A and B are shown apart, each in its own frame.
Chain A
């Protein structure tokens, strides 16, 4: 049952957030194909469930360091859609004034800090922010997301070790989408990441990253525990990147195993959400109606957000230069 033991308000929020993330991603792709978004762009489709569940669980005062791929994280952490759309479109209304890099939706008042395309460079930042939270006391945590590719940077295990020896409240979340650009996970290490981090003394969990409710249920237990115990934990979200590494990659790749790909396509988080049959008509009528309303509303909200964003302009040359103080 998709609503299992989850309060209905929370359930609606989870559903809303995952649909917002999906429609947002679809819209970005559409605008990229039309040439409205001219820089390189990345699709997160297929990976939304885990970040949606975990970031919906976070409080405003919790620190989120998102990865460079994806919108589910910041949407679920409370970033207004029009603001997000503006950044993606390079408009000055965006959190980083339209000149941040991919994944940079800096909003300290919402507990959202800058992602980075210099993969691996934010692991130390997570440690630093957790040191500050620890010094300050309280119940808040740092959550940092990264891919299986970034996890092969030497800085990762080194930072994990610091979080363990210093008892830092960091939730390390690896979205293992099986491929680091075009390199399969199996080519990058002999042992699973969860084993590697366990060896450092980090409590680690592997969760089906395409199952919104599974991540929510286990994530809630983990986060609740971290708020009290003040120790780091690790989650590997097993998931799959449905689109290419980025939109400039030539479609029709030959590096993926097609059977593996088809299996994952059948496990698209939205299908998983709809139940074992992946079919909305297999759900009770009441839920069918609710989910239709939620998804339609989400699609409209995303459309409206982009309409708003498109009314804003990029920073002018004067603004760009004057906002820079050496």
Chain B
């Protein structure tokens, strides 16, 4: 690819916001600490200086209002990008997450809500249950929103670009452990679809479905098993809502053995939704879950007793392969 560069996820989001704000004067950023310290992960650093106070709007701690503000800004014809410092803070705004999803419909499609909600999320960074909680599954029932999670810099760029050209609300989840993840980004690769999973590694014996930070663990496990002659397919969900039914079903038809590897609760998280999608079309497929124990995450390294580890995945893989 031309113009390929190595860049981190954090830096590529920053760069993409800058490029998009230059392209489209209707984009405004709203959030806490986004001007002075560049938000969580420094993702919005320097943007206030370039685009000024009217386009980089720093708020007090008002999560309960952030999405209402975004709805107001959006139904006035602008394109807000809202930052929640931690995805768990979204729980303070739950009624507006719901409202954001239904509002266009209730308004007879007379308004559009091109809202991007950026959030740092995810476990494995030892901050405890208050700032890290399994709630992505509860978002599945919210109508009218999309949820994406980039696991590599090129996706972060492509997804953000696509989200900023969509007229529906998009929750853009940024895994806390991945901001520093470095990878190739091509300036030519402009867009990533918001509703498609990506097969990271093709295989025939078993499929691992994952997203975000755990994806690298899934790929590692697949490489280990490849050395033993087992062919494992690794699917990066990318879109957590809607789930890409086609890719999931095709993979299940091929391998008949599926493991959903999710940092959310074992048997919870996205597992019930994926299980239903697959079982409805491929009844003889086996679908298992590897996730965290149903215990609030302790603060500090003890979280590893709760969160799924690479050993847990490997054990589940071997059990399924032998069965």
Give the interface of A toward B (CB within 8 A).
63, 95-97, 99-101, 104, 106-108, 113-114, 116, 118, 121-135, 154-155, 158-159, 161-162, 165-166, 323-326
Contacts and interface: CB of A to CB of B under 8 A. Distances in A.
B106 to A, nearest CB: 6
A100 B102 CA distance: 11
A100 B106 CA distance: 5
B69 A124 contact: yes
A212 B57 CA distance: 39
Given A122-B68, A127-B72, A95 B99 contact: no
A121 B95 contact: yes
Contacts of B105: 324
A121 B96 contact: yes
Contact of A118 (B76, B99, B107, B110): B99
B67 A124 contact: yes
Contacts of B272: none
- Most chain A CB inside 10 Å of its own CB: which residue of B55, B103, B107: B107
Contacts of B78: 132, 135
Contacts of A127: 65, 68-69, 72
Interface in B283-304: none
12 contacts: A106-B107, A114-B103, A114-B107, A123-B65, A124-B71, A128-B71, A128-B80, A129-B72, A129-B73, A154-B64, A158-B60, A324-B105
B69 A125 contact: yes
Interface of B: 28, 54-55, 57, 59-60, 62, 64-78, 80, 95-96, 99, 103, 105-111, 143-144, 242
* Residue from B69, B71, B99 whose CB has the most chain A CB atoms within 10 Å: B69
Contacts of B54: 134-135
B116 to A, nearest CB: 14
B108 A121 contact: no
Contact of A106 (B68, B72, B108, B144): B108
A252 to B, nearest CB: 34
B72 A130 contact: yes
A166 B59 CA distance: 10
A318 to B, nearest CB: 16
A123 B68 contact: yes
A131 B106 contact: no
Given A121-B95, A125-B68, A323 B109 contact: yes
A96 B96 CA distance: 20
A96 B78 CA distance: 22
Contacts, number: 117
6 A-B pairs with the lowest CB-CB distances in the bound complex, closest first: A124-B68, A128-B72, A132-B76, A124-B65, A125-B72, A128-B73
A326 B55 CA distance: 29
Contacts of B69: 124-125, 127-128, 131, 162
Given A121-B68, A122-B68, A129-B73, A108 B111 contact: yes
Contacts of B75: 108, 113, 125, 128-129
Given A106-B111, A121-B68, A121-B99, 18 more contacts: A95-B108, A99-B108, A104-B107, A108-B110, A121-B96, A124-B69, A125-B75, A128-B70, A131-B57, A131-B72, A132-B73, A132-B77, A132-B78, A134-B54, A158-B62, A161-B60, A162-B65, A324-B105
Nearest to B105: A324
B315 to A, nearest CB: 38
Contact of A155 (B57, B59, B68): B68
Contacts of A161: 60
A80 to B, nearest CB: 15
Contacts of B68: 121-125, 127-128, 155, 159
Contacts of B57: 131, 166
A63 B72 CA distance: 11
Contact of A162 (B55, B62, B71, B110): B62
With most chain B CB atoms within 10 A of its CB, the pick from A100, A108, A116, A135 is: A135
B156 to A, nearest CB: 25
B72 A126 contact: yes
Nearest to A133: B76
B72 to A, nearest CB: 2
Nearest to B98: A118
Contacts of B28: 131, 135
B103 to A, nearest CB: 7
Contact of A129 (B67, B76, B110): B76
A158 to B, nearest CB: 5
A21 B28 CA distance: 39
B306 to A, nearest CB: 33
Given A131-B73, A326-B144, A100 B108 contact: yes
A128 B70 CA distance: 6
Contact of A114 (B55, B66, B77, B106): B106
Nearest to A97: B108
A134 B70 CA distance: 15
Contacts of A113: 75, 111
B203 to A, nearest CB: 31
A118 B144 CA distance: 18
A64 to B, nearest CB: 13
Contacts of B95: 118, 121
A324 B106 CA distance: 10
Given A100-B107, A106-B108, A121-B96, A128 B62 contact: no
Given A114-B103, A121-B99, A132-B76, A155 B108 contact: no
Contacts of A126: 72
A156 B109 CA distance: 27
